[in-house]
A and B are shown apart, each in its own frame.
Chain A
Amino acid sequence: MRLLPLAALFLAAQSVLAPAQADVPEAISKEILPGYAGFTAAAQALSDAAQADCSSAALQAPWNATFDAWLGVAHLRLGPIEDKGRALAIAFWPDPKAIGARQTESMLKAADPALVTADGMAQVSVAARGLFGLERLLYGAEATDTGAYACDLRRALAADLARMAQETEAEWHGGYADLLLTAGAEGNTRFLTRAEARQALFTQLISGLEFNADQRLGRPLGSFDKPRPERAEALASGRSLRDVALSLKALEGFARALAQGLGEIPLTEAAFARAHDVAAKLDDPVFAGVAEPGTRLKVEILQQSVRAAHDAALSEIGALLGVDAGFNSADGD
């Protein structure tokens, strides 16, 4: 074996020990910003499609593409997405009291032209807007509504979604990413230390996994005695399982980015791999099987595998980042 020159060895070691990108910068440049760019592009394409043809048949594909793109960033509940109620207005779910459905119904009934404008949309309840507002108009009882107002409403909701996506992405580029990247710098009152920035992103990973386990899977599972298949997310469009699978994919990428340059995360990767595998083999797109003991078990196993990924990430990546669940938030009183 030919010996490598010392300098090459040194360079190789340095590239492993001190990569150009690590944790927070890596997560922002490789996951967050591309994720938001994809969401903006998809939402804009949906809005353009709605201007051209507002029929539900024409909009289902671009709406699904937008929802797919949203799942790449839906776990991020910090920064611009939390301003002006954007996260709620983009995806108002869960909605156990069906507030959104009632709002959509009453909007169609009232047919107020002032609401289906750019300014008017800001007056509309967050429950009636965004992906789920559109889902009702593309898949629900209103999907077959070919009236002029339903058309205007689809266009207005799609344009509203595109605007929120664009604003969110622009605000990340225009300041919020820098706040995370300059954590601890003089004058940065949002993130007082680098650890706070790491903590903030780590919290998104952990909360995102919890949301999949407790909400996307936990709500339809309900209890053994009282399963609630009607509570599944995006039931009308039939993409409940797809939402979990795509969210897990995004969260795994986010987890890898956070660990980048800090160390290996074999337990987390194995747990994600198992969760992907369970999701891929589950032949139950809207978790209808939760009501039957045999098929319910499969959804429960998926939930357990998501919780296993949560537990692995919490200990493994938490240790790498030197952070843990919040002192006060983890255990209230």
Chain B
Amino acid sequence: MKRRAFLASLVAAAAIPRASWADAGNPAYLAAAKDPSGGYALWGLSETGERLFSQSLPGRGHAATAHPIRPEAVAFARRPGTFALVIDCASGALTARLTPPEGRQFNGHGVYSEDGTVLFTSEVVAEGSEGRIGIWDAAQGYRRIGEFASNGIGPHEIRRLPGSEVLVVANGGIQTDPSDRTPLNLDRMRPNLSYLSPDGAVLDQVELPDMWQNSIRHLALGPDGLVAFAMQWQGDLAEPVPLLGLHRRGTEVILAEPKDAEMFAMQGYAGSIAFSPDGAEVAITSPKGGRVQAFSAEGAPLWSVPRADVCGLGPCAAGGFVATDGQGAVARVAAGRFEPLSSANLSWDNHLVALG
């Protein structure tokens, strides 16, 4: 392209109003699902659980992350992931496809920089599960521009502290077989929660030496930057441990103990985690135990709700949480109550990703 034509196209681009999340019908959530025929898709959902749009996925999805400005989201494959799809949420169209470099695998989660120019992806080196954070140029067609170490084995969810560029990574600690997800190091795993600068410097690291078999996997961030992490216990299920931790840089971790009668309810497994919109409550889900457990932001147990195969969880604007399950329900879960919002002949997958 000649310089004059290039400049002209820049001007033209600037003159066209950019699409915004409003143009996408303001979806409140994204969630992957399996349909009865065995196909997979990413869905946009309204605040009340209505299905607004869908985009087919080439395989089972896991989580997604939304661009902070453009109505655009990246849907990630379930680990070991071979694809991530960039979807225009206004039209439902596929706009880019990310493939991990040779020898790398996506791990199901990613996050944008605050200005949306860079996408960070949670990845492993296929052989050995050493963690990597992939860097992609979200301003120029999602070109791979680099990577840095995640500071651990088997990173899973990655988030960004609100109002900053500091990344938070849940290094699950589990080394897996590169082809079939078989865990290989449960007798010597060492998970951690790491705070990384956008160029990969380790700013802080949290470990739980007393429960090193508790894989730190999923993250939620309170409005004030409180980091909540959900864990999956790889030790003896007859010796239950807390599955929710709360952390703020420079302070000690708070481990949230459930009530006595609830200590086995989650079967050692938390699948998703979210804060309520006001940040006062944080909840975790367990599809294995069929339970949602809510705690205060100080870690005190508040209430729980039974629901088979429940997993996806996000904040509900009306208060409390919205949960999804493998039976196709989208429901508000608040103050110990389960209120169905919608149901579909779909199996909602692990995560419900809140937008905005």
**Bound form: Cα–Cα A82–B304 in Å:** 11
**Bound form: Cα–Cα A125–B326 in Å:** 34
Residues of chain B lying within 8 A (CB to CB) of residue A85: 259-262
Q: B261 and A327: CB pair below 8 A? A: no
A193 at the interface (CB under 8 A from B): yes
Known contacts A189-B340, A328-B349; A199/B327 CB under 8 A: yes
Residue of A96, A126, A195, A326 with most chain B CB atoms under a 10 A cut-off: A326
Number of A-B contacts (CB under 8 A): 83
Known contacts A94-B238, A328-B350; A125/B309 CB under 8 A: no
Looking across the interface, which residue of chain A has its beta carbon closest to that of B236?
A: A96
A88 at the interface (CB under 8 A from B): yes
Q: A326 and B308: CB pair below 8 A? A: yes
Kindly provide the distance from the CB of B53 to the nearest chain A CB, expressed in whole angstroms. 22
B152 at the interface (CB under 8 A from A): no
Chain A residues in the interface with B (C-beta under 8 A): 78, 82, 84-85, 88-89, 94-97, 125-126, 189-190, 192-193, 195-196, 199-200, 203, 215, 219, 326-329, 332-333
Q: A333 and B236: CB pair below 8 A? A: no
Q: A329 and B287: CB pair below 8 A? A: yes
Looking across the interface, which residue of chain B has its beta carbon closest to that of A333?
A: B350
**Bound form: Cα–Cα A195–B310 in Å:** 15
Q: A332 and B308: CB pair below 8 A? A: no
B239 at the interface (CB under 8 A from A): yes
Chain B residues in the interface with A (C-beta under 8 A): 34, 62, 78-79, 108, 156, 217, 232, 236, 238-239, 259-265, 269, 271, 287-288, 290, 306, 308-311, 325-327, 329, 338-340, 343, 347-350
Residues of chain B lying within 8 A (CB to CB) of residue A326: 287, 308-309, 326
**Bound form: Cα–Cα A78–B265 in Å:** 11
**Bound form: Cα–Cα A94–B237 in Å:** 9
**Bound form: Cα–Cα A78–B290 in Å:** 10
Looking across the interface, which residue of chain B has its beta carbon closest to that of A195?
A: B327
Q: B339 and A189: CB pair below 8 A? A: yes
Kindly provide the distance from the CB of B216 to the nearest chain A CB, expressed in whole angstroms. 14
Known contacts A84-B261, A326-B308; A192/B340 CB under 8 A: yes
5 inter-chain pairs at a CB distance below 8 angstroms, sorted by A residue, are A196-B327, A327-B287, A328-B271, A329-B290, A333-B108
Cβ-closest 10 pairs across A and B: A85-B261, A327-B326, A328-B287, A326-B309, A327-B347, A329-B287, A94-B238, A328-B311, A329-B288, A328-B326
Residue of B239, B288, B327 with most chain A CB atoms under a 10 A cut-off: B327
Q: A327 and B309: CB pair below 8 A? A: yes
Kindly provide the distance from the CB of A99 to the nearest chain B CB, expressed in whole angstroms. 10
Kindly provide the distance from the CB of A88 to the nearest chain B CB, expressed in whole angstroms. 6
Q: B350 and A199: CB pair below 8 A? A: no
**Bound form: Cα–Cα A193–B308 in Å:** 12
**Bound form: Cα–Cα A215–B287 in Å:** 20
Q: A333 and B78: CB pair below 8 A? A: yes
Residue of B238, B306, B339, B347 with most chain A CB atoms under a 10 A cut-off: B238
Known contacts A88-B264, A126-B261, A196-B327; A96/B239 CB under 8 A: yes
**Bound form: Cα–Cα A238–B271 in Å:** 39
